[in-house]
Chains A and B, each alone.
Chain A
Amino acid sequence: MAKQLRIALAGNANVGKSVIFNQLTGLNQIVGNWPGKTVERAEGTLHFKGHTIRIIDLPGIYSLSTFSMEEIVSRDYIAVEKPDIIINVVDASTLERNLYFTLQLLELEAPIIIDLNQVDFAAKKGLRIDVEKLSKILGVPVNPTVAITGSGINELLSTVIAVISGKRKLKPLKVKYGKEIEKRVQDIEKLVSAKLPQLCTVYPARWISIKLLERDTDVSGKLKNYESGKEVLDYAEKLAGELETIHGESSPVIIASEKYGFATKIAKAVTTVEAPPKISLEQKLDALTTHKILGYPILAAVLASMFALIFVGGNLVSTGLDYIFGIFTTYIESILSSLLPEIAVSLIVKGILSGIVAGITIALPYIVPFYILLALLEDSGYLPRAAFLMDNLMHKIGLHGKAFIPLILGYGCSVPACIGCRIMETERERFLAAFVVVLIPCAARTVVILGLVGRFVGLQAVLALYAFDLILVFLLGRIAFKILPGEPVGLIMEMPSYKKPSLRNITLKTWSRTRDFVFIAFPIIIAGSITIEALSLSGLMNYVVEAASPLMSGWLGLPPAAGIPLIFGILRKELTLILLSEIIKPLRTLSDIQMIVFALVTMIYVPCLATIAACLREFGWKKALAITVVDIALALFLGGIVYRLLSLVTST
């Protein structure tokens, strides 16, 4: 058996790492055209020419300094876990910025090879890159690829094997600074090697020295664990001070400047501008969609048409499927009745079968088109544009434009949206974003809103619910922003170019999300249906209904039995509607107001179990509990108010 190799993919945000990862492993790592999508590292295995290779996709970052969790995660993974090879994915169309990151990897003395990705896109921009020359300068192999088509991937793997087997030697470039910095780095390095031999077995001494000179808080924190750490820190502090007196800038800026200067020099040396860049369709589209005035109606139109499509299409399919499965269920029921005792038929038909049917007819028709459109939105690169346009508004709730991305993802599913809040820079921002994100009606809640209110009450009521939700998000966001201590952070975001979404990617993504939905949601739906059926058969249902009655009918004006679906809804939100449809038959017997109140409560009250778990992991139990409690209280409170207001309005 050949030994297992570990390869990490590292690089800037949005350079195509996830696409490469999928090409290598055949897994469906979600791919999207917006920076910060891979927030957790993904892993997969690959077999190539007798080798078993473990591939780790690290989140995309701009630097290996400590601004965000991802950066520390990636840095520590590279330094501590020491993968056999790091494939540094470099975007050929923005070489300079990408090389800055490459230089940092070289400083970490990591064994890297370069995957020069998106060479087709660079060529479109009129840029030709001399691969040989780049490889010679950096002292490591450089492989051009077009990840999306898979071109160059095999060569990339062969290079990896050649390097690991020692056939191809790495002679990595040493990043040298100007005299003033270089001398100080070397001085600190001497002290670091002498005083901190243990730390030097993990991180290279030169790298520690550079980081100390940059006043990196994470590295200086590590030093505090050592006895002689303070001495080294004081010394580095002194030298950093000297450097700042000479240049009149803070030391990290001085060092970043020099490193960028170095990256620029390399990029210039290997790039030929073949044709002056023409104004492409993508650029025209970019200018239009981020236009200071036109951009906003376009954004509104994009989102509105998205929901209109889901609403109309979903409704049509849902009604049709409902009809077909209705006939089917009656047919099965009549067959089973002649074979089995009544109680078993009841459990099978009303429990299992109607659970499955409800899942298919109520949930899927809305969820699938939603996933398709979301994939399109993600892949095209429109999300960062929307984020740009929304920057001002998001500042009103103490966030910045980037938070709009998890917010939109929240319409799909709250779980990735919550994790997606990691693209925000500080803990405070992440929590604030997650707080509002869970209030966004996810696809499951959309199912309830469209499947109940949309189908029986009308589009206007649906729009009113969505509008109400947005106002709520804004108001609560603003309140939370005022309560939470800390300074808001401004927007700094790279804008990716527009790309034509690939059909394959969209299909894959829609499929993998739908599959997750089917495999995770359906068992829960079925289990929930059986439990409810068992409860009602055994007569236990009456006790629960009675207990919930004051709240349900007294305060919310709903049928007392509606409390049960709401309790089960904690597992999955679409379960509320599916179970409601099994308890109250037909659903039409509910009044318009009852439907609206039910949908409203479902929309706001406690995010589902999976979301609570995601919050728990991201923010700890206190904050997760706070979100949960606030949402339940809010939903019940608002539900009662809305019930009373609507009753008042309709009676006059």
Chain B
Amino acid sequence: MEGEKGVITNAFGGFGLVRRLAEMGLTPGVEIRLLRKCPFRGPLQIEVRGSVLALGYGVASKVFVKPLKAEPNG
């Protein structure tokens, strides 16, 4: 949920996508925070490495995150 923190475990998908995510700082083990999420499979914003990234729904659903507190999330 919004404001929740998590750690990226891995990303799956095409070679290009996974690599692009890594170049943007979304590498396994990095801590991220969900800032906001749009409804209807909309994009979301996360804070990672001190800056804010917007990810489309399709991209975000390929990134697996282990929540740092309580409930799991996408």
Residues of A whose CB lies within 8 Å of any CB of B are: 62-63, 65, 67, 93-97, 100, 215, 249-250, 252-253, 256-257, 260, 264, 267, 287, 290-293, 384, 387-389, 391-392, 395, 400-401, 425, 488-495
**Once the chains are docked, how many angstroms separate the CA of A490 from the CA of B38?**
15
Tell me if B36 and A257 are in contact (CB < 8 A): no
The interface residues of chain B lying within 8 Å CB-to-CB of A492 are: 20-21, 24, 53-56, 59
Closest 5 CB pairs of A and B: A491-B56, A490-B59, A256-B22, A257-B27, A94-B51
Report B9 CB to chain A, min CB distance, Å: 11
Query: Complex Cα distance A264/B51, Å?
Result: 13
- The yes or no answer to B28 lying at the interface (CB within 8 A) is yes
How many Å lie between the Cα of A488 and that of B59 in the bound state? 11
* Neighbouring B residues of A388 by C-beta, 8 Å: 38, 43, 45, 54
User: Do A260 and B45 form a contact, CB below 8 Å, given A492-B56, A494-B53?
Assistant: no
Main secondary structure of the interface of B (DSSP, over half): mixed
- Which residue of B19, B41, B43 contacts A253 across the interface (Cβ within 8 Å)? B19
Determine which of A65, A260, A384 lies in contact with B54 in the assembled complex, contact meaning CB atoms within 8 Å: A384
Q: List 12 A-B contacts (CB under 8 A).
A: A93-B50, A252-B18, A256-B19, A292-B38, A388-B45, A392-B40, A395-B58, A488-B58, A492-B53, A492-B55, A492-B59, A495-B52
Q: B1 in the interface, Cβ–Cβ < 8 Å?
A: no
- Indicate if the CB atoms of B45 and A491 lie closer than 8 Å: no
How many angstroms from the CA of A65 to the CA of B19 in the assembled complex? 9
Q: Are B50 and A65 in contact (CB under 8 A)?
A: no
Contacts between the two chains (Cβ within 8 Å), count: 123
Known: A62-B23, A384-B54. A260 touches B43 (CB 8 A): no
Contacts of A489 in B (CB 8 A): 17
Contact A392 B42, CB 8 Å, known A250-B19, A290-B36: yes
Chain B contact-residue range equals 35 or more
Residues of B within 8 A of A (CB): 10-11, 15-25, 27-30, 36-43, 45, 49-59
Contact of A391 among B10, B16, B17, B43 (CB under 8 A): B43
CA distance A245 to B13 in the complex (A): 18
Residue numbers in A under 8 Å from B59 (CB-CB): 490-492
Contacting pair B45 A495 (CB below 8 A): yes
Once A65-B19, A290-B36, A292-B37 are accepted as A-B contacts, the answer to whether A100 and B56 lie under 8 Å apart by CB is no
Report the separation of the CA atoms of residues A603 and B11 in the bound assembly, to the nearest whole angstrom.
Answer: 44
Which among B18, B19, B29 has the highest number of chain A CB atoms within 10 Å?
A: B19
Query: Which residues of B have CB within 8 Å of A395?
Result: 56, 58
Question: Which B residues are CB-close (under 8 A) to A264?
Answer: 49
Contact B36–A253 (Cβ < 8 Å): no
Report the separation of the CA atoms of residues A267 and B51 in the bound assembly, to the nearest whole angstrom. 13
Q: A96-B49, A292-B42 are in contact. List 16 more A-B contacts (CB 8 A).
A: A67-B16, A100-B25, A256-B22, A257-B29, A267-B50, A287-B36, A292-B37, A292-B38, A389-B38, A391-B38, A391-B43, A401-B54, A401-B56, A491-B55, A492-B59, A494-B52
